[in-house]
Structure 1
Amino acid sequence: MAAALRALPTVDPARATLERQGLFPCDAEIARRLSIGADKFRSIVGALEKNGFPPRDALIGRRYWPAVVAFWHRRYGLASLTSPSMIDGEENLDAL
């Protein structure tokens, strides 16, 4: 049993904390999720915000992760694949 415990990989506590940030990650975690460095993210975030990248939420103080993903989907033309193009009307279960 002791040998099995020694074989477990160690977890960097700082990285584990970043990965648990959920829907409102810090900018360093957003940069990590986007596979760019934190310094690079800081240098481009202003330009991104001018093009629709979500700003920090006034109440939470961080960016809403699903809005970040939606920004990139729109930027690369994938938004129409994830949302309906038109509302099809009200449900009528009596028609069945």
Structure 2
Amino acid sequence: MASGYGIHGGTSRCFPYWQEYMACYVMTKDDPVAREKGPCLPRLEDYYECLHHKKEYARARAMQEALRKAERAHPRENAPKLGQIRSLGLLGHEDESKAMMGAKQ
């Protein structure tokens, strides 16, 4: 468990979640029926999420994968053609590139 102190003093960002979990744990520690139902489990999950952000990262990865899948399903309609790329000087103009690089040195 974290000490409860943040990097710059004061309480850490996850300490309130830890306090909520501990309050629930103390209230249900002597009640075996309540312990089996696990009323404190959501509070513990909130604390772990605050510490590690696993659910947040998983949600972001799922969103990125959905975006990539959508892009693969619908390729760009206005993508440049091979001739347009050559006209930009990217392909087929190696001599000009070498001459320009030689002039700069």
Query: Normalised by the size of structure 1, how large is the TM-score?
Result: 0.26
The answer to which structure, 1 or 2, has the higher relative contact order (CA under 8 A, 6+ apart) is 1
Q: Highest CA radius of gyration, 1 or 2? A: 2
Structure (1 or 2) with the greater helix fraction = 2
Query: Normalised by the size of structure 2, how large is the TM-score?
Result: 0.24
